[in-house]
Amino acid sequence: MNGEQHPLAVPVYKTLLEVLREDLHLTGTKHGCELGECGACTVLVDGEPVLSCLALPIELEGREILTIEGLMEGGRPHPLQSAFAEMGAVQCGYCTPGIVLSAKALLDRNPMPTRQEIAEALSGNLCRCTGYIQILDAVERAGARMRERRS
């Protein structure tokens, strides 16, 4: 979990979302619908977006989980975090952790996605506030910064 190992004893029927929030006290991962419909609970498992409300920890044994708390790099915000803050892509913020992680999975796999590809990658993440435009802009800006950094 975020680069650390956590030995945990929890009931098998607790979802990853419940364990993250209630046992590990990592409340950055949000609970929305808890039925797979909103994406608020998205985390990355081996780099791929997974809904923590529909995943059991026992099914993820030995795999690497990244939550929003583990996204900072060397004490500095990830380019996605900075771009979201700068572009007004965060309003109430409830959808943000899930969206940022879905966007990270996309940019790691495809450093220069089209706007359509960004929308497709984020199609499971609902936002009630922003109207999405700022979110798409922020992902584009973060992608550009990450490419600059690499070159």
Ligand X SMILES: Cc1cc2nc3c(=O)[nH]c(=O)nc-3n(C[C@H](O)[C@H](O)[C@H](O)COP(=O)(O)OP(=O)(O)OC[C@H]3O[C@@H](n4cnc5c(N)ncnc54)[C@H](O)[C@@H]3O)c2cc1C
79-86 vs 133-150: helix crossing angle, rounded to 10: 140
Residues of this chain, 22-41, that bind ligand X according to CB under 6 A: 36-37
Distance CA 89, CA 7 (A): 36
Q: Does 93 bind ligand X (CB under 6 A)?
A: no
- Shortest reach from residue 78's CB to ligand X, in Å: 27
Of 61, 58, 49, nearest to 109 by C-alpha is 49
Could you give the CA distance from residue 138 to residue 103 in angstroms, rounded to a whole number? 10
- Residue 90 near residue 26, CB atoms below 8 Å: no
Tokens of 96: 């943000």
* Shortest distance (Å) from residue 93 CB to ligand FES: 6
Instruction: Choose which of 95, 107, 121, 122 interacts with ligand FES (CB under 6 A).
Output: 95
Site for other proteins in 54-113 (CB under 8 A): 54-56, 58-59, 102
Measured CA to CA, the distance from residue 41 to residue 71 in angstroms comes to 15
Least spacing, CB of residue 59 vs ligand X, in Å: 10
48 binds, among ligand X, other proteins, ligand FES, none (CB under 5 to 8 A by kind): other proteins
Interaction site with ligand FES (CB under 6 A)? 31-34, 36-41, 51, 53, 90-96, 127-130
